[in-house]
Amino acid sequence: MIELDVRLSKDEEVIVLHDRTLQRTSTGNGAARNYTLAEIKEFDAGSWFGPSFASERIPTLREVLQLVDRRKWVDIELKSDFLHREPYGLLEKKVLSIVEELEFTRHVIFSSFDHRLVGTIKKIAPEARTGVLYNIYRDFGRLPSKLAGRVGASVFVCSKIELTRSMVRDARQHGIAVYVYTLNTTANVNKMTDLGVDGIISDNADDVVGILKENN
């Protein structure tokens, strides 16, 4: 599965970008929401990684899904902008429209730290697979069944340093899958598989697959 983050440009196009601002991973500066898609496409988003990637640009969700072409599942994390409150349902409807148009519905899970967005996705498309991301500052003390249950999600996503046995046990008892991030070492992968998690999010997918094959 490929995990990515989406947000809106100034002209309300769905772009794939983790940060609210552009400067960490591109030659742009400031909030992505302040630029049109055409303007965003002018920025170099590859040179930070290596000179040979200088021609890379920030992609749209449509471009990524067309490239993947249903060969893999995609975890689409919806990002809410705390400094630019979107009209109710705008991002969710835009994302769903693209996913449905490209016939990707059966190959996608929608997730977010903003559980309201997840709830809206389920209201618009009850058949959608959704997940809630755990925010320790806001969600501390709440178990997966509570957080996922109130918005109809079937997946609970949590950081490796925040996940507890009681969370996994509660999720198991309520039929909720547990995904954990970000596992980039053998020790972390082994610890979480021992806990019984269902999904691993990693920057080193090939290494993780190798570890899992060795364990099996």
- What value does the mean pLDDT take over residues 149-164? 97
Longest dimension (CA), the chain: 50
Peptide bond into 186 cis (omega under 30): no
Instruction: Give the model's confidence band at 209: pLDDT under 50 very low, under 70 low, under 90 confident, else very high.
Output: confident
pLDDT tens for residues 119-132? Answer: 999 999 999 999 99
Give residue 178's pLDDT. 98
- Under 8 Å between Cβ of 16 and 64: yes
pLDDT tens for residues 68-84? Answer: 999 999 999 999 877 67
Instruction: Give the model's confidence band at 85: pLDDT under 50 very low, under 70 low, under 90 confident, else very high.
Output: confident
pLDDT tens for residues 131-156? Answer: 999 999 999 999 999 999 999 999 99
Q: What is each CA distance from 114 to 81, 110, 117, 147, in whole angstroms?
A: 10, 11, 6, 11
Give residue 32's pLDDT. 96
Give residue 206's pLDDT. 85
- Under 8 Å between Cβ of 177 and 200: no
- In 3D space, the residue among 203, 215, 142, 202 whose CA is nearest the CA of residue 176 turns out to be 142
* pLDDT at residue 43 is higher than 80: yes
Instruction: Give the model's confidence band at 87: pLDDT under 50 very low, under 70 low, under 90 confident, else very high.
Output: confident
From the options 3.20.20.190, 3.10.450.50, 3.30.230.10, 3.40.50.1100, give the CATH code of 136-216: 3.20.20.190
